[in-house]
Amino acid sequence: MTREALFAYIDSTYNVQPEYPWATLPEAAVFRHGDNQKWFALVMGIPRKYAYGEPGPEVAAVNLKCDPILQQMMQGEPGILPAYHMNKTHWVTALLDGSADGERIIFLLHESFELTKAKRKK
């Protein structure tokens, strides 16, 4: 899955547009719920060294909130890493360079959306 495909999927599924909150990181995009303003996806470039252990250009990636048990199960899957620059217990990073399975990214995106949506009061 590419960055562009992910943006299109989020728009068509959740009707959410990207926000670009950092002037110093113009490519970093946040997707958040309209009601509680919680992020469910952070798309950015990460150091190639973090992704692959080698020097080179940044790699497009998305950070997604994840249940800790699911996060542990994802370790070792191609293109799925401990979260970059986020809590590694509750977030994962999925690479958007084709190394992570697109269906797995969509599954994790849905999980993240559900985990971050506003809770209903009883």
What's the confidence (pLDDT) of residue 75? Answer: 79
What's the pLDDT band for 13 if we cut at 50, 70, 90?
very high
* CB-based contact 63:41 (threshold 8 Å): yes
* CB-based contact 28:43 (threshold 8 Å): yes
- 112: exposed, middle or buried (C-beta count within 10 Å: 0-12, 13-18, 19+)? buried
Cut 0.75: pTM above it: yes
Q: Which domains does the chain have, with CATH numbers?
A: 3-113 (3.90.1150.30)
What's the confidence (pLDDT) of residue 31? Answer: 98
* CB-based contact 84:103 (threshold 8 Å): no
| Residue 122, pLDDT above cutoff 80 | no
Mean of pLDDT values over 101-108:
96
| Residue 121, pLDDT above cutoff 80 | no
DSSP H or E run through 106: helix 102-116
What's the pLDDT band for 79 if we cut at 50, 70, 90?
very high
Mean of pLDDT values over 41-59:
94
d(CA 79, CA 29): 19
Across all residues in the chain, what is the average pLDDT?
A: 93
